[in-house]
Amino acid sequence: MGFDLETTGFLPWMGAEIDLIALSNEEGEKYVLETREYSDGDLEDFFWGLSLQNVKFIGQNIKFDCNFILYHYGVLLRNIFCTQIAAQIIDNGRQSEVRFDLISILQRYLGPAYAIDKEEKKTLQKSFSNKIVQDNISLIPSVRKRQIEYAAEDVTHLIALYHKQQELLEKYSLTTIARLEYKVLPVLSKMEVQGILIDRIEWKNLVKHWEGELVEIEKKLDEESLKLLDGKRTEFKFGKGRHGQTISYDLFGNATAVSSASEQYLNYGSPDQILSIWRAFGETPPKDGEGEFTVGEDAVETYLTETPNTRLANFIELLLQYRELNKLVSTYGDSFLALLDKDSRIHTSYTQTRTETGRLSSKEPNLQNIPASKNPLRDVRKFFIARPGYKLITCDMSGAEVAIAADYSKEPLLLEALKSGADMHSQLASVSFSIIFKQQLEIKKSKETITIDGYTYVLNDLRDEHKSVVFAKFYKAGAKRVYQVLAKYINRHHKPEARMDIAGAISKALDDRMPRLSAYLSGLIEEAQTTGVLTSDKLGRTRFFRPTVYGEAANYPIQGTNANALKIALIKLEEYFRNTPEIDGKLLMNIHDEVVVEVLEEYAEQASLKVKEIMSDALSYFLTDIKGGASVSISQHWKK
C-alpha cells in the first residue's frame, strides 16, 4: 500500500497530531482517512490489522510516518519500503547532483510527466500546521476538500515508483543493502520515539556555571587587551556591556554572527572586531587557504603553533577558551533544553543513507556531536541518565576502523597488533616523533615525561595525539594532513622552510611501516578514479565517484563496512530485547560506533555481556583473519 500522513507538525512528542491518513493500493484506489472521525483505538486496530496481514507500506521518508503511528497508536510498522532511501542507495555518491524529494524522485525514475505543483504543495503543507485553519476547517469545506485531494496525490504514484525502484535495486545488485536499511528503519523509529532521559536541573546548573566563567574570561580578555594596546587608542571600549552575547557558528565551528546589547564595547565573539583589535595590537592577523585575513579557530590555532613566542599567546589562549565556552552555552544552553519533551526526554532524528558511507547521522538535535570531556565542568554526557531502577549500558565497537583496515589490507603490523595486543599506536608514534625530535625515541602508554629543546612532553599525550595521524592514513593522507595534526611539535623544533619536508618524511615513514595498507588504499583510489564506482563490502553498498577522488575512495570500504556492522548490531539488539521482555531493554542512542541501551538494574550485568557479544559478532561478520571487539560499561548515566 502507498502510505502517507498529513500532520499538524513534525514532532509527535512535542504535540503534533495526525490529521489525515492517505493510502493507495495496487488497483489504483486511493483512500484518505480523517483521524477526527475515528477513535485512537479504532486506528490502532486498523494498523495492527494491516501489519498482521503483512501489508507492505510504501512511503517517502517513511520513518517520519512510522514515528507518528508508533507514538499515537503504539504500532510499529516493520514491513516497509522507503522510496527516498531506495533513491539514495541507487544514486549513492550523486548527492550533490540529484535531489531526493518526492517530486524529483518521481520525475527521475518515472519520467517528467510525473509532476506536482511545488508552490501549491507548499501552501497546502502549511495549512495542516496552521492552527487557525485547522480549528475552523469544518467552516471552509473547499479548503478541506483540497487538503484531502493533496493527501491522495502524495500516494498516487508510490506503488509504480516502488516497482521501478525494485527493478533497479535488483539490476544493480543492491537488494541486500536495501533489506538491511529497511530492517533497521523500525529500530531507529523506536529509538527516536523512546528518547533518553535528561537531568534537566543539573544541566541548567552547569550552564549557569558556564555563563559565570564567560564573565570571568571576558574580564581577563579586557585586561590582556589593554596590556597589549599599551596606551594605543582604539575604537573599542572595555569593561562592561557585553555579557550575555550569543554567537552563531558555521559547520566548521567558526563564529559567524553575533548579537550584542552594546556594540561600542569590544565584542570577543565578533570576527570583524577581533580582526580590528588584532591589528590595533600591532600584529598581522593569520590568513586562510584563500589568502584572506581570518580569526577562525583553525587559523588562530595554526598561528599559535607557527609563532609560539608571539606576544599575543595569552590573548589567543583566552580567546579560544571564550569561544569554546560560548559555543557550549549557545549550543547546550536554554536552546537545547527547550527541545526536551514534557517528561524531560530528548529525541533526535537519525538519517540512514544521507551520508555516502551509510553511516548514521543525527539531527535536531545532533546527539552524535555531544562533546565528551574528562573535565566535569565541561561534561554534559553525565546528564543523560537512566530511569530509577534502571541502568544504562554503553557499548562501543572498539577499534572497528583499525580492524577493518587490517583485515581488508592484510597489513602485518595492524594484524599483529590486533592479534597479540601489541601497542600499534605507540609503535607508529615512535616513528613520527623520532623524526620530529631528531633522536630515537620510544613513545608508550606512560605518564613519563621527556624534555626536548626546553619543551617537556608527557609520553602518553604524544601517543594519544598521534592517533589522529594514524586514522588519517586510512584516508591515504599525505604530508599536508600530517602537518596539520602535528604542527605544534614540528613548528617548535624546525625552521619554517623545513617544516613541510619533516611532515613529508613522517608520512613516507608511516607508509613504509604499513606497505600493504598503503598499497591497498592506493588501489582503491585508482579503481575509483578509473571505474567511477566502488562497493564497500559483501552487502553491496555501491558509491559513485568523480575521477578526481582521492581520500574518500580510500576510506569508503572501511567506513562503509563499519556503518553496515553497526546497523546489523542495532537490528540484533532490538531483536534480543524483544525476545527477553523481562529485562525491559530499550535502545536509546547511537553515537557513531557506540550504542546506549537501558535495562532493569537487576539484569544489567547479564544484558551487558549479550550486548557486547552482539556488537562484536556484527563486526566479525565482515572479517576473515581477526575477530571484532567491543567494550562495555554500566552506569547510571551515559559513560564509556
Write down the domain spans for the chain. 2-172, 201-337, 350-402+559-635, 412-513
Q: Are 266 and 249 in contact (CB under 8 A)?
A: no
Residue-level pLDDT at 118 = 65
pLDDT higher than 80, residue 247? no
Burial of 547-575, coded b for 16+ CB within 10 Å and e otherwise, reads eebbbbbbbbbbbbbbbbbbbbbbbbbbe
pLDDT per position as a tens digit, 350-379:
999 999 999 999 999 999 999 888 898 999
Residue range 499-511: average pLDDT? 97
Q: Are 458 and 540 in contact (CB under 8 A)?
A: no
Rounded distance between C-alpha atoms, residue 393 and residue 596, angstroms: 6
Provide the residue type at 481 as one letter.
R
Rounded distance between C-alpha atoms, residue 234 and residue 222, angstroms: 13
Residue range 566-575: average pLDDT? 98
Phi, then psi, of 571 in degrees rounded to 5: -65, -45
Residue carrying C-alpha cell 550533490: 96
Question: Which is more confident, 163 or 143?
Answer: 163
Return the H-helix or E-strand segment holding 534.
strand 533-535
pLDDT higher than 90, residue 241? no
Return the H-helix or E-strand segment holding 473.
helix 459-473
Residue range 580-596: average pLDDT? 97
Residue range 120-134: average pLDDT? 80
Residue-level pLDDT at 239 = 76
Q: Are 140 and 133 in contact (CB under 8 A)?
A: yes
Residue 240 — very low, low, confident or very high, per pLDDT cuts 50/70/90? Answer: low
Rounded distance between C-alpha atoms, residue 470 and residue 477, angstroms: 9
pLDDT per position as a tens digit, 512-537:
999 999 999 999 999 999 999 999 99
For the chain, give the mean pLDDT: 92
Q: Are 35 and 18 in contact (CB under 8 A)?
A: yes
pLDDT per position as a tens digit, 299-338:
898 888 888 789 999 999 999 999 999 999 999 999 999 9
519's grid cell: 598499497
Burial of 406-429, coded b for 16+ CB within 10 Å and e otherwise, reads bbbbebebbbebbeeeeebbbbbb
Residue-level pLDDT at 640 = 75
Angle at 25 between CA 21 and CA 27, to 5 degrees: 145
CATH topology (fold) of 201-337? Taq DNA Polymerase; Chain T, domain 4 (1.20.1060)
Rounded distance between C-alpha atoms, residue 62 and residue 162, angstroms: 13
Output the DSSP codes for 220-286: HHHHHHHHHHTT---S-B-SSS-TT-EEEE-TTS-EEEEE-S-TTB--TT-HHHHHHHHHHTT-PPP
Residue-level pLDDT at 373 = 86
Provide the residue type at 115 as one letter.
A
Long-range CB contacts (< 8 A, 24+ apart) of 118-125?
120/150, 121/150, 124/150
Residue-level pLDDT at 249 = 44
- The residue length of the chain stands at 640
**E strands present in 83-201:** 196-198
Residue 116 — very low, low, confident or very high, per pLDDT cuts 50/70/90? Answer: low
Residue range 247-253: average pLDDT? 44
Residue-level pLDDT at 372 = 86
Q: Would you tell me which CATH number, out of the four given (3.50.50.60, 3.40.50.720, 3.40.50.300, 3.30.70.370), belongs to the domain 350-402+559-635?
A: 3.30.70.370
Homologous superfamily of 2-172 in CATH?
Ribonuclease H-like superfamily/Ribonuclease H (3.30.420.10)
pLDDT per position as a tens digit, 391-409:
999 999 988 999 999 999 9
Residue-level pLDDT at 258 = 46
Q: How many helices (H) and strands (E) does the chain have?
A: 23, 20
- C-alpha distances out from residue 324 to 320, 321, 375, 393, 462, Å: 6, 5, 13, 29, 23
Instruction: Using DSSP, state whether 539 is helix, strand or coil.
Output: coil
Residue 225 — very low, low, confident or very high, per pLDDT cuts 50/70/90? Answer: very high
